[in-house]
Amino acid sequence: KRGTLEAYKQTFLVPAKLTDRRAVYLSRDTQERADFVVRDWEQGANLSSFVERIVRAHLEDYADETEEWRKL
């Protein structure tokens, strides 16, 4: 079990203040699916914040591994 909807919202759907931004491209299908989650599940959330939080969570989850792999 991955958790509750409320935990998911608190992790990924809280608006983030993004400074010094850069463009990231997604396929149309991925963008539409992600936009559906953001638009339908939480007022005030936006796709940029959603993607930022997903990438940060991934980088945190794999921090130890990526540090080891970097040394190879």
Per-residue pLDDT tens digits for 16-46: 889 999 999 999 999 999 999 998 888 888 9
Compute CA distances 40 → 1, 48, 67, whole Å: 22, 15, 36
Residue with the two structure tokens 């540090």: 67
Looking at 21-62, list the stretches that DSSP marks H as alpha helix, in order from N- to C-terminal side. Answer: 28-41, 47-61
**pTM (two decimals):** 0.83
- What percent of the chain shows pLDDT beyond 90? 78
- Mean pLDDT, rounded, of the chain: 92
* Exposed/middle/buried for residue 15 (C-beta within 10 Å: 0-12, 13-18, 19+): middle
Residue 2 reports pLDDT greater than 80:
no
Q: How far is CA 48 from the centre of its chain?
A: 8
